[in-house]
Amino acid sequence: MQMSNRFPRTRRDVGGDLTRAHALLVQAGLIRQVSPGIWTLLPDGWKVLRNIHQIVFDMMESVGVQNVQLPILQSCDLWEQSGRWQKYIDTKTMFTTSEYHYDAEYGLAPTAEEVVSFTVAGEIESWRDLPVILHQIGPKFRDEIRPRLGLLRGREFYMSDAYSFDRDEEGMRASYQKMKELYPRIYERLGIHKLQAVEASSGDIGGKGSVEFMALNEEVGEDLLMACDECSYGANTEVSAGNVGDVCHECKIGTFKEVRGIEIGHVFQLQQTYSKSMRVTFRDENDTEQFAWMGCYGIGTSRLIQAIVDQNHDDDGIVWPESVAPMFAHIVPVNWKDETQRALAQELYAACQDANIRTMIDDREESAGLKFKDADLLGYPYRIVVGRDAGKGLVEVRNRKTGDVENLAKEHVVKWLKERAPQ
Amino acid sequence: MQMSNRFPRTRRDVGGDLTRAHALLVQAGLIRQVSPGIWTLLPDGWKVLRNIHQIVFDMMESVGVQNVQLPILQSCDLWEQSGRWQKYIDTKTMFTTSEYHYDAEYGLAPTAEEVVSFTVAGEIESWRDLPVILHQIGPKFRDEIRPRLGLLRGREFYMSDAYSFDRDEEGMRASYQKMKELYPRIYERLGIHKLQAVEASSGDIGGKGSVEFMALNEEVGEDLLMACDECSYGANTEVSAGNVGDVCHECKIGTFKEVRGIEIGHVFQLQQTYSKSMRVTFRDENDTEQFAWMGCYGIGTSRLIQAIVDQNHDDDGIVWPESVAPMFAHIVPVNWKDETQRALAQELYAACQDANIRTMIDDREESAGLKFKDADLLGYPYRIVVGRDAGKGLVEVRNRKTGDVENLAKEHVVKWLKERAPQ
């Protein structure tokens, strides 16, 4: 991609009282608000979300979870069967719509326990068909009374949601444990370095036993947590029995401190609540009809874009983790009017394209200072500066995160980048 | 993936009066209806859609189009600005929803001219910012009075939609031409071999000059077309001046015949209709404010799943084109209880997994006949049969499409598959 064609332009000043991560997403041109809590993801924002989704899909498949796509328009009939239609109407959290021609009512996916239960109920017959875990990623809708904080609290957002179906309580616990262990690995790959798993209450979803995953964030963390300063134990303040300074009742060594975080995931043991109301049954070894034991598992993927930037930036701009970076390399010719520099920059750009390395080239006739400022703001992992040594075929490669600089002969650049690029 | 874990089971008989492609999608377990015209994509269906989307995204980027994600909840205000709110309400084609707390009205994305115009209007300033083409893929919603034909006519479906913005009419024509030439290349890669581009009327979208892309289909083609039997000229019968047997007015050689097709794409020249109502303006070289010239471009991606199966199947089942196949290889041990066969099948399966080849292994204790039947139905490109030569380390590799069979030593299987796998 050429910087001169990049949509949109970067912005210096975004005004308003935005948090740092939110401001960076606007300045670097990743998101634009269309209506309160409703966003367009611009090219870099789109690519980061795609990368997040690909990593989540791959890691789900790596533990035997099967990916599907459930519908957004969910029939009122299904929600009445589970008893949640009126509840969601009363709390004014679900958007609803009507089919004109036959007056059918639909809710717009806030979550998918009903639809996935209906789908699984139609396919499983015997205990041999279990366990099964289905996972999807798609837009979700919640009628937030006060959308705010950029991608953190929106009316339309992306969520990864998985649902496990097991033969018995022991099976449900095993599926739950598998997902609970997978989540931190997903977050780590996405660049969430400060993570806290906390015991939580289950809210509207129902069931017993749930853990929230929080990206720690002192600036805008919406949730207050009690976390042990020694072991990994933590709890939502609604749940925790302890106070600041109390000795941790898990490890008996550390003491509780208060931290703030953004919820980026939640895993639940649903027991048989939905399988009973939605009649998700199977035949056991004795040919007796049984209700499945369910769990559900959610990751907020669009809010993760902002949580990742929050944990990966410096004073100059975003510092994308390589795993989710929208582009991998950023070629900056110091002086675009200099024929030697321009030719070398274009040669390297073509070579990167051929090697399938996502690369930006700054082809603008702007000052080097402005181009470096933009490169810092956009935060692609490796910057290739083509300057006065261009005539000797030498360029400078700079690591956005560490600031480390290496001088490389032009013929080594692609190989050097390839060795560092994510698979 | 193990066949014993695959969700869902295959089905022999699906009942009802389904078209062949629709029946195959249900039998092979790619789709399940949740409500009329509303579908769940099961794992194989999900993967085919993901593959289609990846190819479309990549090919869009290859011609300089930038990918974004526009919102589904589209404010009534934007649609009133374009004058289309009442029109879509009157024709009962748009699903709408209300925000509870502040009474804001939204339409559920049937298309996105308004939102993309709003987004671009906020970013472009001068003629230097043009041209730009933005593209997204996402769920779309249309309140079809009679949903039918599986994925062909649904209330919730996936569509790729692109929008071009140019400085003048000439620019618009160039962008339109670029997209019109890109589309057949996309369809070819997806396995649509029988394609007809036809002149069409523009319907509700507005503007002048539009071409529809039709996947020819004699069984369920919803549209009647007039096509020249010599040149590539064709026209929708609403538009065509000619009759069957008339000499083609383009090439003056061929004659018109009537064919049926499924619409899988549509490209429009929108002129300045939306840029005027939505005020998409820029400053030209003389610093005068001008309205942008727009085009829009759509591909029905979920209906393509069915159109591809329609053009790629035989009496035994689906024959997936390699580019979109949900799995690439299908390992079938003739007798799972035979230790030698089972060990070799598992060894090959592990090697395929390591080499990142999407592979199914049939680990069921079923008859070879039933396993072959399922493999034919599912239609993965290469079947690896592990049978009585397993002891000698030999397997049979069968091409699903051509039926060609080769005997390979086990150590050559992965390399052989890798050479044939899509990038």
Contacts of A5 in chain B (CB under 8 A): 64, 66, 132
Other C-beta atoms closer than 10 Å to the C-beta of B73 total: 23
CA dist B237 and B218 (Å) reads 16
- Judged by CB atoms closer than 8 Å, whether chains meet at B156 and A71 is answered as yes
Which of A7, A119, A156 comes nearest B71 by C-beta? A156
* A90 contacts: CB under 8 Å, gap ≥ 6: none
- C-alpha triplet A10, A11, A15: angle, nearest 5°: 155
372-411 of A, contacting B, C-beta below 8 A:
none
Greater pLDDT, A206 or A221: A221
* Residue A400, both tokens: 């956005």
Other C-beta atoms closer than 10 Å to the C-beta of B261 total: 26
Q: Which of A84, A59, A305 is nearest to A184 (CA)?
A: A59
Which of B66, B67, B119 comes nearest A32 by C-beta? B119
* Residue B135, both tokens: 């593209």
Which of A57, A104, A122 comes nearest B32 by C-beta? A122
Closest B-chain CA to A165: B7
Contacts of A92 in chain B (CB under 8 A): 100-101
| Helices and strands, counts by H and E, chain B | 11, 23
* Residue B404, both tokens: 């060609």
Alpha helices in B11-168 (DSSP H): 20-27, 43-62, 76-82, 85-90, 113-121
CA dist B177 and B156 (Å) reads 30
- Host H or E run for residue A68: none
Mean pLDDT score, A188-215: 83
Which of A66, A67, A139 comes nearest B72 by C-beta? A139
Other C-beta atoms closer than 10 Å to the C-beta of A398 total: 20
Is residue A132 within 8 angstroms of chain B, CB to CB?
A: yes
CA dist A251 and A248 (Å) reads 6
Q: What share of chain A has pLDDT > 90, as a percent?
A: 84
Domain spanning A14-314, CATH class: alpha beta
* Residue A117, both tokens: 């239960």
Which of A6, A69, A145 comes nearest B40 by C-beta? A69
Q: What are the residues facing B2 on neighbouring strands?
A: B361
pLDDT value at position B225?
Answer: 87
CA dist A345 and A335 (Å) reads 10
pLDDT value at position A64?
Answer: 97
pLDDT in tens, A145-157: 899 999 999 999 9
Sequential pLDDT tens for chain B (423 residues): 999 999 999 999 888 889 999 999 999 999 999 999 999 999 999 999 999 999 999 999 999 999 999 999 999 999 999 999 999 999 989 999 998 888 899 999 999 999 999 999 999 999 999 999 999 999 999 999 899 999 999 999 999 999 999 999 999 999 999 999 999 999 999 999 999 998 876 555 555 678 999 999 877 777 888 888 888 788 887 777 688 999 988 889 999 898 899 999 999 999 999 999 999 999 999 999 999 999 999 999 999 999 999 999 999 999 999 999 999 999 999 999 999 999 999 999 999 999 999 999 999 999 999 999 999 999 999 999 999 999 999 999 999 999 999 999 999 999 999 999 986
Is residue B80 within 8 angstroms of chain A, CB to CB?
A: no
150-209 of A, contacting B, C-beta below 8 A:
155-156
**Domain B329-420 in the same topology as domain B20-314:** no
3-state SS, residue B90: helix
* B347 contacts: CB under 8 Å, gap ≥ 6: B410
**In Å, how far is B42's CA from the nearest CA of chain A?**
5
**φ/ψ of residue B168, rounded to 5:** -155, 180
Buried b (16+ CB within 10 A) or exposed e, B386-397: bbebbeeeebbb
CA dist B306 and B311 (Å) reads 9
Amino acid symbol at A67: N
Q: What are the residues facing A359 on neighbouring strands?
A: A329
Amino acid symbol at A12: R
Count of pairs with CB atoms under 8 A, one residue in A, one in B: 162
Greater pLDDT, A241 or B366: B366
Instruction: Name the residue with tokens 């994600």.
Output: B69
* Residue A179, both tokens: 């997902």
Mean pLDDT score, A102-130: 96
Inter-CA distances, A106 with A75, A277, B227, B331, Å? 4, 19, 42, 42
| Helices and strands, counts by H and E, chain A | 11, 23
Predicted ipTM > 0.95 = yes
B92 φ/ψ sector (left φ>0, alpha ψ -120 to 50, else beta): left
Contacts of A42 in chain B (CB under 8 A): 68, 119
Other C-beta atoms closer than 10 Å to the C-beta of A339 total: 10
Q: What are the residues facing A271 on neighbouring strands?
A: A294
Other C-beta atoms closer than 10 Å to the C-beta of B93 total: 17
Local structure of residue A389 (DSSP, 8 states): G
Amino acid symbol at A357: I
Q: What are the residues facing A298 on neighbouring strands?
A: A161, A266
* B320 contacts: CB under 8 Å, gap ≥ 6: B48, B191, B308, B312, B326, B379, B380, B381, B400
Greater pLDDT, A92 or A379: A379
pLDDT value at position B25?
Answer: 98
Q: Which of A381, A305, A321, A380 is nearest to A188 (CA)?
A: A321
CA dist A273 and A207 (Å) reads 7
pLDDT value at position A205?
Answer: 55
> Would you say the C-alpha torsion B29, B34, B39, B41 has a positive or negative sign?
negative
C-alpha dihedral (A7, A10, A14, A20), degrees to nearest 10: 110
**In Å, how far is A323's CA from the nearest CA of chain B?**
18
CA dist A68 and A75 (Å) reads 19
- C-alpha triplet A252, A256, A262: angle, nearest 5°: 130
Report cis status (omega within 30 of 0) of the bond before A333: no
- Judged by CB atoms closer than 8 Å, whether chains meet at A143 and B70 is answered as no
3-state SS, residue A244: coil
Q: Which fold has domain B329-420?
A: Rossmann fold (3.40.50)
pLDDT value at position B3?
Answer: 98
Strand A132-141 versus strand A66-67 pairing type: parallel
Closest A-chain CA to B114: A34
Q: What are the residues facing B397 on neighbouring strands?
A: B384, B406
pLDDT value at position A218?
Answer: 79
Instruction: Name the residue with tokens 């070819």.
Output: B188
- Sorted by where each begins, the domain ranges of chain A are 14-314, 329-420
Residue A423 has pLDDT above 70, yes or no: no
Which of A67, A70, A143 comes nearest B43 by C-beta? A67
- Judged by CB atoms closer than 8 Å, whether chains meet at B39 and A71 is answered as yes
pLDDT value at position B290?
Answer: 98
CA dist A96 and A88 (Å) reads 10
Q: What are the residues facing A193 on neighbouring strands?
A: none
Q: Which fold has domain B20-314?
A: BirA Bifunctional Protein; domain 2 (3.30.930)
Tallying the residues shown for chain A, one arrives at 423
C-alpha dihedral (B364, B369, B372, B378), degrees to nearest 10: -80
pLDDT in tens, A331-372: 999 999 999 999 999 999 999 999 999 999 999 999 999 999
Mean pLDDT score, A21-28: 98
Q: Which of A356, A366, A96 is nearest to B99 (CA)?
A: A96
Residue A203 has pLDDT above 80, yes or no: no
Residue A242 has pLDDT above 90, yes or no: no
- Residue pair B293/B271 in contact (Cβ under 8 Å)? The answer is yes
CA dist A360 and A370 (Å) reads 15
**In Å, how far is A405's CA from the nearest CA of chain B?**
31
For the ranges A55-69, A186-200, B293-307, the lowest mean pLDDT is seen at A186-200
Is residue B64 within 8 angstroms of chain A, CB to CB?
A: yes
CA dist B56 and B22 (Å) reads 23
Interface test with B, best of A99, A124, A129 (most B CBs within 10 A): A99
CA dist A372 and A130 (Å) reads 55
* Residue B140, both tokens: 């779309």
